[in-house]
Chain A
C-alpha cells in the first residue's frame, strides 16, 4: 500500500512538474512564468506533505509554511514590477 501510493503520486507529481517547467521555459510572458513557478512550488509542497503523510512525521511542516510565504512574496514582487511595455501588446 505504502509503496503503491508513493509510486503513483511520484509519477503524477513528476508529470505535473514537467508540465510546469515546460511552461516556465516557454513563457511566453513573464507573468506566465511567475504563475508556472507558483504551481511548481505548490507541487513541491505537495511532495513534502505526501512524504510527511506516508512516513508519519511533521518535520516538513515549517518548510511547507515557509514555502507558501516565499511563493507569495515572489509572485507579488514580480507582478508589482512588471513593466507596461506598449510595443508588445497582447503577446500571450
Chain B
C-alpha cells in the first residue's frame, strides 16, 4: 500500500483494505462456526467460507495492489486450484462422516442417502435369505427354523446398511 496515498491510489487502497478485512472476517466466521455448530456436517458448511470466498477476496486485493495485468491469471489459477480441491476433500470428509455416523439425523432436513441405504440393506437381506434357504434345502432342516434365521439376517443387514451402501465402486 502507498503511504499518504491521494486520488486513485487512495481509492484503490481503501477498496483493498475492505477486501482484506472482509476476507479475514471469513476466517473468523469459519472459526465461530466450528465452535458453535453441533455436528460435523454443519461445521463443514462453515469451514468452506475462508477456503473459497475468503481466498477470493484476498487474492482480489493482491491483484488490485500489484497493478499489473499479468498477475490476474496467476491469481485465478491459484483460486481455481482451490475450487477444484476443496469440493473433493469436502466430499471425502462428508462421506466418511456419514459412514461413521458422525451426524445427528434429527438435524438433517433431507437425507438423500437414506433411500439408497435402505434399498441396499433390503437387497443384502434378500441375498442372505436366499442363501440360507438354499442351505436349508441341502441340509433338509425344518421350514420354521429357516424363517427365524431369515429375520435375524435382515436385522443384521439393516444395522450394517449405512456402511455397506457406500462400499460402492468409488470406495
Q: Chain A interface (Cβ within 8 Å of chain B)?
A: 1-2, 4-5, 8-9, 12-13, 15-20, 22-23, 29, 31-32, 34-36, 38-39, 42-43, 45-46, 49-50, 52-54, 56, 58, 61, 64-65, 68-69, 71-72, 75-76, 79-80, 82-85, 89-92
Q: List 29 A-B contacts (CB under 8 A).
A: A1-B3, A5-B1, A8-B24, A9-B21, A19-B28, A20-B30, A23-B34, A29-B100, A31-B96, A32-B40, A32-B102, A34-B93, A39-B34, A43-B31, A46-B24, A46-B26, A46-B27, A49-B62, A53-B62, A54-B20, A61-B75, A65-B78, A68-B81, A72-B86, A75-B89, A76-B88, A79-B89, A90-B102, A92-B102
Shortest Cβ gap from A71 to chain B (Å): 7
Closest chain A residue, CB of each to CB of B59? A49
Residues of A within 8 A of B65 (CB): 53-54, 56
Interface of B is mostly: helix
Is B71 an interface residue when CB atoms closer than 8 A count as contact? yes
Q: How far is the CA of A60 from the CA of B163 in the complex (A)?
A: 42
Closest chain B residue, CB of each to CB of A72? B85
- Number of B positions contacting A (CB below 8 A): 60
Per a CB cutoff under 8 Å, which of B20, B50, B82 touches A68? B82
Interface residues of B in 40-90 (CB under 8 A from A): 40, 43-44, 47, 50-51, 54-55, 58-59, 61-62, 64-66, 71, 74-75, 77-78, 81-82, 85-86, 88-89
Instruction: Provide the B5-41 mask, 1 if CB < 8 A to any CB of A, else 0.
Output: 1000000011011001101111110111011001110
Per a CB cutoff under 8 Å, which of B28, B47, B163 touches A84? B163
